[in-house]
Amino acid sequence: MTLHTEFFDIRPVDHFWVDIYHLMNSIVQPRPIAWISSVSETGVFNLAPFSYFNICSMNPAIISNSIFFNRDGSEKDTLKNIKATGKYVVGTVSFPSAEKANISSAPFDSNLSEFDEAKVQPVLRGPGEPPFISESPVQLECELNRTIPLGQGAGVGTLVLGNVKTIHLSAELKDCEWQKGISPRFMDNIGRMGGDFYAKTSEVFQMPRATVNK
């Protein structure tokens, strides 16, 4: 194993934010991807992937997403919809759905639905409700807890905290012991890396959590 004992320094404030963006994305990886379904006030279904995604709390269950402003400084449709309606659904992205998730990340006009553009079948849930994502075996039905703006303009994120109201599992999992978790081989999730790279999670290993004898 290589030991690293000498370093050179990079101060983010001294560099263009896009350069730091590429560097940080290559360091903080692999990142889980939240495929977020939302609906606009006019009823347009929106679908977009976000890799700044994690768990914040378990009791109560809260997840986080950081949604950046567009390069022109405007808010993304997903953030607008969540702030306006307080509702959204988070689905997972499996390897077979990677290309569709990537298509849904494109900057389509607000009046177009990424479900249509990426050819993803929505699972309708009633008027004003963001649909489930048929390509995802798990749906986290979320209610907005709060948004925390971290600034304004390009390269700035807004932290979105969501209360997980209901966890919806595919009927294919009805016989699984969900209390012990879902097999990563069934989920077949992908992770976001730096640049145009992604990681598959089909190759896994197990390691018992370290303990201390007292």
Given a contact cutoff of 8 angstroms between Cβ atoms, the answer to whether 129 and 123 are in contact is no
Which amino acid, one-letter code, is at 214? K
Residues 64 and 203: their CA atoms lie apart, in Å, by 26
Residues 99 and 119: their CA atoms lie apart, in Å, by 11
Distance of alpha carbon 205 from its chain centroid, rounded? 24
pLDDT at 18 over 90: yes
Please write the tens of the pLDDT for every residue from 172-212: 999 999 999 999 999 999 999 999 999 999 888 999 999 99
CB atoms within 10 A of CB 128: 10
pLDDT at 214 over 90: no
DSSP string for 153-184: STT-EEEEEEEEEEEEE-GGGTTS-GGG---H
The whole-number pLDDT of residue 101 equals 98
Tokens of 115: 């479900």
Give 36's pLDDT tier (boundaries 50, 70, 90): very high
The whole-number pLDDT of residue 200 equals 94
Given a contact cutoff of 8 angstroms between Cβ atoms, the answer to whether 117 and 211 are in contact is no
Which amino acid, one-letter code, is at 156? V
**Helix (H) or strand (E) run with residue 115 in it:** helix 114-117
DSSP string for 50-96: ESSEEEEEETTEEEEEEEEPPTTSPPPHHHHHHHHHSEEEEE--BGG
Please write the tens of the pLDDT for every residue from 40-73: 999 999 999 999 999 999 999 999 999 999 988 8
| pLDDT (average), residues 124-149 | 97
The whole-number pLDDT of residue 154 equals 87
pLDDT at 158 over 90: yes
